[in-house]
Amino acid sequence: MYRYKISWIISPFILAGLVYVLFFSSIGESLFKKKPEIRDEQEIGIICKDNTGSCFYFNKDGIIFKDAPQTSGSLILLIKDYSQKDYKLGDKVLDKSFLDILLQAKDELFSKMGLMVASFDIELFPIEVLRVVTNESWYILFSLKRDIKSQLLALKVALDEKIENRMSLRYIDLRIENRIYYK
């Protein structure tokens, strides 16, 4: 009988102590620490780190906002990063202007040349060379120091007039102005 009265008296003190720990102490702050606020969480693409195998979704502003599964194919914009750069949620990993180049290249490769992009590969930051892997298992090297539209036009001309069998290609190199190398 006395035990129940004592527990009713002690319970509010225990509850008050728990509330203090959760909301006002450093323990509570770390438990309820806010994640970076991200306004637009529409998935534009996935970026994967080759050295760790970790992948993240990024939005139209180039900000990663959640973990993503490793993937392949051409349905979503896939960027494979071979650099030593590390990422965490909330980081801006790509500039909007660079994303616009990727989306333009992916669209034109498909609509004008019938090529589907399997991945965009990045070797180093800052990005000067972009490697585009096609679903036909060959790749294209673009220079980001030059206009991407002129390189896409040169690629279309080469595929239409010079290269007879795309399935036997290993690569097309467009990095040098007024030159197209292929094997």
Tens of pLDDT along 124-168? Answer: 888 999 999 999 999 999 999 999 999 999 999 999 999 988 889
- What phi and psi values does residue 115 have, to the nearest 5 degrees? -100, 135
Task: Name the pLDDT band for 114 (thresholds 50, 70, 90).
Answer: very high
What is this structure's pTM? 0.75
Fold designation for 45-182: Rossmann fold (3.40.50)
Question: Tokens 């949620």, residue?
Answer: 89
pLDDT at 38 over 50: no
For the ranges 9-23, 74-88, 130-144, the one whose mean pLDDT is highest:
130-144
Q: How would you label 11-36 residue by residue, b for 16+ Cβ within 10 Å and e otherwise?
A: eeeeeeeeeeeeeeeeeeeeeeeeee
Domain extent listing, the chain: 2-31, 45-182
Taking the CB of residue 77, how many other CB atoms lie within 10 A of it?
Answer: 18
Mean per-residue pLDDT of the chain: 84
DSSP result, 62-128? SBEEEEE----SSSSEEEEE-SS----TT-B-S-HHHHHHHHHHHHHHHHHH-PPEEEEEE-SSS--
DSSP result, 1-37? -HHHHHHHHHHHHHHHHHHHHHHHSHHHHHHTPPPPP
Residue 2's pLDDT is 53
pLDDT at 32 over 60: no
pLDDT at 75 over 70: yes
